[in-house]
Amino acid sequence: MLQSSRQERDRERVRRAAAAARADGKPALDVALAEIGAAFDEAAVINGFKIRVERLLRLGPGHPALRAHFGARAAMLSGRNLDAAVATAERWWRDERKAFQIASALGGGTRLPLEILSELRLILRLMRCKRMETEFYAAIAALAMQQPFAIAAE
């Protein structure tokens, strides 16, 4: 599997944490704990999320996994421009986050819709930042296409 530069930078960050602990003369257990701490800290969580989104982007909008993941939301975004899509995804994410917080307080709730919306938010914001309006319309068209089994189910 081809590794992204982000993955390499993340691994290097963990190696640096271990090297710094070794340079301080800490025992092997403390070095291992520093390495584990760096591998699972907040920066690692954020990088893991970004790496996951990079993998999704490499699949391309025609991939069945992406169509299953984002197809329904893409259909709801069709007809909007990129700025409106970003604003809509932000609103969906805020609403879903509130719903998840309420459901969690009541002892239930699933994180999957929130994760999907987080990924969609990042992808749309990246497209807006890189001025990928044309690619946005192409991706929405590819993702929103109805699959044969979805048509048969109607």
If asked whether residues 53 and 74 sit together in one domain, one would say: no
If asked whether residues 118 and 135 sit together in one domain, one would say: yes
Task: Write out the chain's pLDDT in tens, 154 residues.
Answer: 556 788 898 899 999 999 999 999 999 999 999 999 999 999 999 999 999 898 888 898 889 888 988 999 999 999 999 999 999 999 999 999 999 999 999 988 889 999 999 999 999 999 999 999 999 999 998 887 754 444 333 3
And the tokens for 67?
């169509």
And the tokens for 148?
């044969």
Model-level pTM greater than 0.85? no
Range of the domain at 48: 1-59
Q: 89: how many CB neighbours lie within 10 A of its CB?
A: 23
If asked whether residues 30 and 77 sit together in one domain, one would say: no
If asked whether residues 38 and 90 sit together in one domain, one would say: no
Q: 25: how many CB neighbours lie within 10 A of its CB?
A: 8
If asked whether residues 105 and 144 sit together in one domain, one would say: yes
Indicate the residue among 9, 29, 59 that finishes a domain. Answer: 59
DSSP labels, 65-125: HHHHHHHHHHHHHTTS-HHHHHHHHHHHHHHHHHHHHHHHHTT---SHHHHHHHHHHHHHH
The number of helices, as runs of H, and strands, as runs of E, in the chain is: 8, 0
